[in-house]
Structure 1
Amino acid sequence: MKKILIIKLRHIGDVLLIIPAIRALKDTFPDASISVLVNAGTEDVLKGNPLIGELIVLDRGVKILPVIKRYAKEVGFLKTIRQKGFDMTVDLTGGDRAAIMSFASRAGYRLGRVFRKGFIGKKYMYTHLSAEPEGRKHTVLQNLGVVKGFGINTENLSVDFYIPEEDRLFIKKILTPDASRITYNAIVHVHPTSRWLFKCWKDEAMAEVIVWLLERGAAVIITSSPDIREVEKARTILSLVSSRITHHASRLIDLCGKTTIKQLGAISEASDLFFGVDSAPMHIAAAVGTPVIALFGPSGAFDWGPWDNAEGQGAGGRGQGNPYPKKNGIQRFGKHTVIQRDWDCIPCGEDGCEGSKISDCLDDIKPAEAVEIIERHLKRL
C-alpha cells in the first residue's frame, strides 16, 4: 500500500479525533504516504503531524456558486482526487459526499462503515464495510473501528496536537509576570462558547465561576472563536465579570476571537486547567495534556468526552474499552471530568429543548457544583 486517503468532512473537534486511526494505518503500512481530506477551516488542527504526508482541503464555499459553476468545481475536485492514484481510501465521515469521493478515487481498497442513511446504492461505493459499533463507543474508538476490522490497529491511541514554537512564545509573553505585571497561583483557560448555542452555559453562571477563580488568585484566559456570535457571548460574560470585580482585573486576559487554532492549543498547554463547554478547544486542551473540566448538556460524553492520552495507551488502557461508561451524569476519564445532569432524557442530541437553542439540562447545573470540582483539582497543584 503506497498511497492512502483518509476522508473526514466534519468539524474541527471531529477531525482531531481521527489521529489514532491515522496512526493505525501508518503502523500497519509504514512506507505508505497518508493524505487527509478535510473541510476548509479544519486543516490547522492536523498541521505539523508527522503521520500525515498531505492535507487536501475541500472548499465548501462552492455551495453558494451558481449551479453550473458549482458542478464544474465539484467535478474538477473529483478528478484531482482520482489523478492522485490512491491505493486505499478510508471514509471516516459517513456522509454521501465522502462516499462519492471514495468511489471516484478508483482506489482498489475503499473502506467505510455500514450506514443506516444515505442514497440508494451507497454501500457499493466501498469495497470493504465495517460493522456499526456495538453499544456506546467514544468517537476515537468509532474511527479506529472502521479500520480495525481489517487487521489495521494500534495500541497507541494518543490524540496529538502539534504547536509551533512561535505560538508558544505568543502565550509566554502574555503570561510572563515581568511583562504583564500580574501574579497568579494558577492559570485557567476558560472557553465558554460553542458554535452551537445549545451547548453553551448561562452567561451569569459562567461569569460567577470566573469571578471565583479570580478571587482565588488564578489568572483566567478567556477565549472564543472569531465567529461574531461567539465573541458577543464571550463579551457579555466579560462584562458581567468586570461589574463584579475591583482588584483582580489584571489577571483576566481577554483573547476572545483573537487566536488561531494553534494558539488555542498553546494557551491550554500553558494552563493548569481548562474549563469550558463541549467544543473543539475542549478536545485540543485534552490533546495537549491539560486537565479538562467540561460542561455537557444534551451531548453524549460516551462519544464526545475529553480524551485522556495517558489512559489510551496499551492494550490494558481504559481508552481501549469504554472511557465514559455511563449514559450521563458526572464522569471522569483520567485527568478529565465531565459535569452533566443524570436526567433520563440525556443524551438527546437535540438543538435545545423543543428547538429553543437552550438546554435545560445544562442551565440546571449550578456554579457551586463546578466550583467544587475545580477547587478539588486546583488544590492538587
Structure 2
Amino acid sequence: MEIFSNQPLRSNPHIAIFSSTKVGNFVVTTPLLRGMKEKYPHCTLDFFGSEITKDFEIHSPYIDWRFSLYTDNPDFLETLAQAVRQRCEVAGSYDLAINCDEFSEINLVTVTAIRPTYVAGGALSEDFRLKLDASHDPVQKIISDPDWNSREFIQRHQEILSSNYISEIFCRIAYVETDFFKLELPSKQPNFLVPDVIISVTATRPAKMWPVSYWKQVIKWCESQGLTVGLVGSSPKIQQTLYYSNNTEADLLKETSLIDLRGKTSLTELAGTCRQAKVCITLDSGLLHIAAAVGCPTVAIFGNDADGDGASPIRLWAPRQPHVKIALSDFKCTICQEHHFKNKFCLVENHPCMTHLAPQIVINYLKELLEID
C-alpha cells in the first residue's frame, strides 16, 4: 500500500471512496465521484457510506456499489468481510482508496484493511499501529494540515489549491480535475404540494442556531407576502437524536402557519422538494448543501462576519453557487475557530454572532431572490 501521487492505474481500475454519516459530507463528495468517472471512465467505483445517506448513494449515477460502514448491524464485521471479498472477485483487488474522512476511526481501519495498491486521504500502517505518514508528499500532506478553514491554509498550499472548499480538497488529493463547485444529487418528486418556502432551523452544533424570535419574524414576513412555508427535516424523534432544536421547531409550529413536513421525505424526495420550492432558508446544515446541489435559490444563515470569522468553518463548507446567498453577522468572534469548531455550544454570553444577524438581512435576500420590491 503506497501513498497516491497520481501513479497510473489499470485501464479498468477498482476504486473505493470512503465518506461519513452526514448528509452534507456526501453532497460535497459528488464532484469527486463525477471527477473519478471522468478521469477513469472504465473504473468500478465502490462507495463506503452510511445508512443515513444510503438513499442518495444508491441513486447516484457514479456509484457502482455501496456499503454502509456506519450501521448498527450486529453482523457488521462478517458482512463487511464477505462484501469486500465478493467485490474483489467481481472487479479485482482495489487499485485506489480515497478516504474523505480521516478523522473517522472506522474509515482509517477499513481503508487499510481492504489493502488497496494506493491510498489517498489517510490510512494506517499495514500493521494498524500508526497513521500512514504522508508528510513527504506535497499533495497528501494537505490532509494532516491542522486548519483547512484558515486563509493561511491556502497560502501554505497555494501551488495545489485555489480555495478552501472541501470539494476541491477531496478532488485535489485524488488528482481529479473537474468543476469543484458543481454539486449533483438525484431527486424524486415528493407526494405532497411543495410550499413556496422551505426552512430548516436545527443544527448538529447549537453554536450555529439562530434565535427562534428571528425565525418568527422571517416566517411572518413570508406570510405577509402570501407565501406558504414548510419545515423540513428528519422525523421529530430522529431530529431529537441527531440535531439540536431547543424547542425551536415546536415553538414555530405552534405560533405560525408553518407546515410540518419533517419525516415526510426520503433524501431524494427532499432534493425534489428543494427543486420545486421557490426559495430555501437554512442554517449551515445538510439542507443547505442539498438545496445548493439542485439549484434552489437559498438564503444560508451563518454566524460569521464578512471576514469569515464566526460560528462555522465557512471558507471550508459554504457552497459557491450564485443562487446561494450567505447571510452574515456583523459581530466578529473567533472563539469557535480557536476551539477548531469542536465546541458544541456558544462560549460567549448571549450568542452574539447569531443575535447580531438581524432578520431583515435574511428578508432582504428573500426579496432579491423572489424579485419582490
TM-score by length of 2: 0.76
Moved over 3 A (4+): 72-76, 124-129, 230-233
Letter in 2 for 1:30: P
Equivalent residue number for residue 322 of structure 1: none
CA drift of 1:336 comes to: 1.2
> Which residue identity lines up with residue 336 of structure 1 in the other structure?
V
Whether 1:306 and 2:323 are equivalent positions in the alignment is no
CA gap 1:143/1:379 in 2 versus in 1, 3 angstroms: same
Do the aligned partners of 1:190 and 1:274 also contact (CA within 8 Å) in 2? yes
Structure-to-structure mapping, 1:102-117, within 5 angstroms: 102-113=111-122
Structure that is richer in helix per residue: 1
Letter of the 1:81 counterpart: V
What is the root-mean-square deviation of aligned Cα atoms in Å? 3.0
- The one-letter amino acid of 1:153's match is E
Displacement after TM superposition at 1:28 (Å): 1.2
For residues 306 and 123 of structure 1, the distance between their equivalents in structure 2, rounded to whole angstroms, comes to 31
Gaps of 5+ in 1: 66-71, 176-185, 242-248, 309-333
Which letter does structure 1 place at the counterpart of 2:182? S
How much does 1:235 deviate? 2.2
Do 1:352 and 1:359's aligned partners in 2 also have CA atoms closer than 8 Å?
A: no
Match of 2:140 among 115, 118, 130: 130
* Residue among 319, 339, 344 paired with 1:351: 344
Q: Which residue pairs with 2:177 in the alignment?
A: 153
Q: Cα deviation per residue 1:156-202 (whole Å; 9 max; x = unaligned)?
A: 642111113xx34x24xx25xxxxxxxxxx81111112233332211
Structure 1 position 34 matched with structure 2 position 49:
no
CA distance in 2, matches of 1:255, 1:46: 23
Equivalent position SS for 2:52: coil
1:144 counterpart residue number: 171
Pairwise CA distance, 1:214: 0.7
Secondary structure of 1:256's aligned partner? coil
Q: Distance in 1 between matches of 2:344 and 2:70?
A: 26
Matches of 1:262 and 1:31, distance apart in 2: 27
Of residues 26, 35, 57, the one that matches 1:46 is 57
Once the two structures are TM-superposed, the CA of residue 359 in structure 1 deviates from its matched residue by 4.0
In 1, distance between residues paired with 2:315 and 2:42? 34
What is the total number of aligned residue pairs between the two structures?
317
User: Quick one: which amino acid aligns to residue 159 of structure 1?
Assistant: L
Q: 3-state DSSP class of the match of 1:353?
A: coil
Q: Residue 93 in 1 paired to residue 101 in 2?
A: yes
Aligned to 1:337, what secondary structure does the other structure show? strand
Query: 1:38 Cα shift?
Result: 0.6
Question: How far does the alpha carbon of each residue in 1:51-84 deviate from its partner, in whole angstroms, 9 at most, with x for none?
Answer: 111111124326xx7xxxxxx7436524643553
Q: Distance in 2 between matches of 1:126 and 1:50?
A: 35
- Is the Cα contact below 8 Å between 1:139 and 1:303 reproduced in 2? yes
C-alpha displacement of 1:282: 1.1
Q: Deviations over 1:128-171 (max 9, x none)?
A: 861316326011112112112xxx3224642111113xx34x24
Contact conserved, 1:10 with 1:39, CA < 8 A, in 2? Answer: yes
Inter-partner Cα distance in structure 1 for 2:283 and 2:185: 19
Q: In the alignment, what sits opposite 1:340?
A: 328
Equivalent position amino acid for 2:317 in 1? W
Contact 1:275 1:293 in 2 (8 A): yes
Is 1:377 the counterpart of 2:365? The answer is no
Equivalent residues in 2 for 1:1-381, closer than 5 Å: 1=10, 2-61=13-72, 73-74=76-77, 77-78=80-81, 80-81=83-84, 84-85=87-88, 86-94=94-102, 95-113=104-122, 121-123=130-132, 130-132=140-142, 134-135=153-154, 137-148=164-175, 152-155=176-179, 157-164=181-188, 167-168=189-190, 170-171=191-192, 174-175=193-194, 187-226=196-235, 227-229=238-240, 232-241=247-256, 249=257, 252-297=258-303, 298-308=311-321, 334-341=322-329, 342-345=331-334, 348=337, 349=341, 350-354=343-347, 359-379=351-371
3-state SS of paired residue (2:347): helix
Change (3 A) 1:213 1:51: same
- State the alpha-carbon separation in 2 of the partners of residues 153 and 369 from structure 1: 36
Q: Does the CA-based 8 Å contact 1:114-1:131 persist in structure 2? A: no
Once the two structures are aligned, what percentage of the paired residues are identical? 20
Taking structure 1 as reference, are residues 228 and 92 closer, same or farther at Cα in structure 2, changes over 3 Å only?
closer
2:21 and 2:70 in contact (8 A); partners too:
no
Equivalent AA in structure 2 for residue 234 of structure 1: E
Distance 1:343 1:371 in 2: 22
Residues 10 and 93 in structure 1, CA contact (< 8 A), matched pair in contact too: no
Q: Distance in 2 between matches of 1:373 and 1:294?
A: 10
| Distance change >3 Å, CA 228–CA 131, structure 1 → 2 | closer
Contact 1:111 1:126 in 2 (8 A): no
Q: Structure 1 length normalisation: TM-score?
A: 0.74
Contact 2:14 2:43 in 1 (8 A): yes
